[in-house]
Amino acid sequence: MTRIIADISVSLDGFVTGPDPGPESGLGRGGEALHTWAFSDDAEDRRILREGTVRSGAVVLGRHLFDLVDGPQGWDDTTGYGAGEVGRPAFVVVTSSPPESVRLTDLDWTFVTGGLPEAVAVARERAEAASSVSDEDLDVVLMGGGATIGSAFEAGLVDALSLHLAPVVLGSGTPLFTGGTPRTLVRRSVTPTSTATHLMYDVL
């Protein structure tokens, strides 16, 4: 069964970027510390990254994040989805205006202009199709940014929340949650490593 999993790194004070994120610094000042775990040699960090990549049948991201990963300072042959782990899921971008061109033409991009629920529905179809081919259950992963995941959470579109809690206090930046409808979570796993605490919750 395909689930919708929101997966994101967050600071101890609840930010998914540092202050002043922009085209040249997508994670803001100090924000690189949020993703130290993804490039770690820690065996548990590598396992969590690998398992998350393998389960991805489709990935949803917002237009701002797309502009960063497809921009000149974005993903390349050494960094990309899964930070070097093998994975080529379909990527579904929520946008009001598709780009005129794409730099990363070797990836499977779909641009959805009908809003986040439509993008999640398209991604679910892609993940279910990939599941049929691989004969195993694959999920839709919401990789962000923070506004996209926050909106999906608020809209009740998220089945599970995977947080990578980095041991850093950023002070300000882009918050993951900014209020909204209360939700009940059930903790399914906690994995501490040398660089992060990995938390998995079911969203009720």
Is residue 145 reached through a cis peptide bond, with omega within 30 degrees of 0 on the bond before it? yes
> Which are the contacts of 64, defined by CB distance < 8 A and separation ≥ 6?
145, 147
Residue 51: its pLDDT value, please? 92
Q: How far apart are CA 109 and CA 93, in angstroms?
A: 7
User: Which domain does 164 fall in, by range?
Assistant: 4-203
Q: How far apart are CA 152 and CA 21, in angstroms?
A: 21
Residue 180: its pLDDT value, please? 84
Residue 83: its pLDDT value, please? 54
> Whole-prediction pTM value?
0.92
Residue 33: its pLDDT value, please? 96
Mean pLDDT by 10 residues, the chain (204 residues): 96 95 82 94 94 93 93 82 69 96 93 98 97 94 92 95 97 91 94 97 96
Residue 82: its pLDDT value, please? 63
H/E/C letters for each residue in the chain? CCCEEEEEEEECCCEEECCCCECCECCCCCHHHHHHHHHCCCHHHHHHHHHHHHCEEEEEEEHHHHHHHCCCCCCCCCCCCCCCCCCCCEEEEECCCCCCCCCCCCCCEEEECCCHHHHHHHHHHHHHHHHHHHCCCCEEEEEECHHHHHHHHHCCCCCEEEEEEECCCCCCCEECCCCCCCCCEEEEEEEECCCCEEEEEEEC
Q: Could you tell me the CATH number of the domain that includes residue 97?
A: 3.40.430.10
Count of domains forming the chain: 1
